Amino acid sequence: MRSLKILIIIILFSNPVYANMKNAFDFKFDSIDGKDLNLSKYKGNTLLVVNVASRCGFTNQYDGLQTLWEEYKNKGFVVIGVSSNDFNQELKSKEEVKKFCEVNFGINFPMTDITTIKGDNAHPFFKWAKDTSGFKPKWNFYKILINKSGQIEDTFSSMTKPKSTKLISAIEKIL
């Protein structure tokens, strides 16, 4: 059994995608503003990473995400919106997404450019999430709660609303 564990660790860390990526803070995205969104900037904070889309039945969750951000950002909590068209419900450009989010929901938490979150071309963060916890978004507004050490604390489907007791309790527990 011990040999199997050692073999798995060797295989995992010999893969160039994961060799230097041990936690969420090791990843970066392209931001919706055209700059780098390096998660290392948030090291020591609690993160809620959410794959979002502008034309989804769950898009109204932007309101709750913005409220969470406003209520907890001074306590070391960061919402990261990962715009994705993997379910064919996102606008065509990051500029359209940014305008839509600002005008309709007043979003000012960090957001990424339109990003692939599933399949072979998934962003390395989502490959890491799948490989380390089995998490794989099955729709828009899936949520990954990252603790202050950069590890996945919990995951939530789009059915879990941002202001749900379940999600808020999980956030408050690790803040």
Structural domains in the chain, sorted by start: 23-174 (3.40.30.10)
pLDDT at 1: 58
pLDDT at 22: 85
pLDDT at 18: 47
| 56 belongs to the catalytic site | yes
Structure tokens at 31: 């931001």
Cα–Cα distances in Å, from 151 out to 22, 101, 133, 148? 8, 28, 9, 7
For residue 109, give the nearest of 146, 142, 144, 73 by alpha carbon.
Answer: 73
Query: Digits of tens for pLDDT over the chain (175 positions)?
Result: 555 555 444 444 445 444 455 899 999 999 999 999 999 999 999 999 999 999 999 999 999 999 999 999 999 999 999 999 999 999 999 999 999 999 999 999 999 999 999 999 999 999 999 999 999 999 999 999 999 999 999 999 999 999 999 999 999 999 9
Please pick, among 56, 80, 111, 145, the residue that the annotation labels catalytic.
56
The whole-model pTM stands at: 0.88
Cα–Cα distances in Å, from 67 out to 30, 104, 108, 116, 147? 24, 14, 11, 26, 20
User: 36 has which bridge partners?
Assistant: 30
pLDDT at 19: 44
Cα–Cα distances in Å, from 138 out to 36, 49, 135? 26, 15, 9
